[in-house]
Amino acid sequence: MFFCQVITLPRTNIGDCYYLCKLNCYNLTAFELGACQGHCYVWHEGQMGRTASDIATALCTFLEEVDRRGTVDQIVLYSDSPAGQNRNQFVSGMIIHFLSRAHNVKQITHKVSRYMV
């Protein structure tokens, strides 16, 4: 899973709009290697921010989708290493909570790399 760069809207070079408040949009991307399918979770700052609990919420939505399909019982998550997003109590707690109520997924392994690009 990757949390992409913040997207500011509208994108413009017009001087009159340059100093106005712009809307920040966020994108968390998860890719299923087995299904060769990507999932992008996009939201704007009016809906959620980009705190650890917001990232955990988007990740939980992805995990619930995978569990609902019932095709896998083990999930391996690979992610880059921003401490505020992946290596924290919110994401770990969400994974434990998800596993306690999942119907098909029995195990999640979260591998964090310092060197992912």
What is the pTM assigned to this prediction? Answer: 0.76
Q: Where are the domains of the chain?
A: 2-112
Query: In which residue are the tokens 């955990």 written?
Result: 56
Q: Are 91 and 97 in contact (CB under 8 A)?
A: no
User: Among 14-18, 35-39, 56-60, 94-98, which is the least confidently predicted range?
Assistant: 14-18
What is the rounded average pLDDT of the residues 42-68? 90
CA 3 to chain centre: 6
1 pLDDT more than 60: no
| pLDDT score for 35 | 85
What are the tens digits of pLDDT across the range 6-52?
Answer: 777 666 666 666 666 778 888 888 888 888 889 999 888 889 888 88
User: Which of 81, 60, 77, 70 minimizes the C-alpha distance to 105?
Assistant: 70
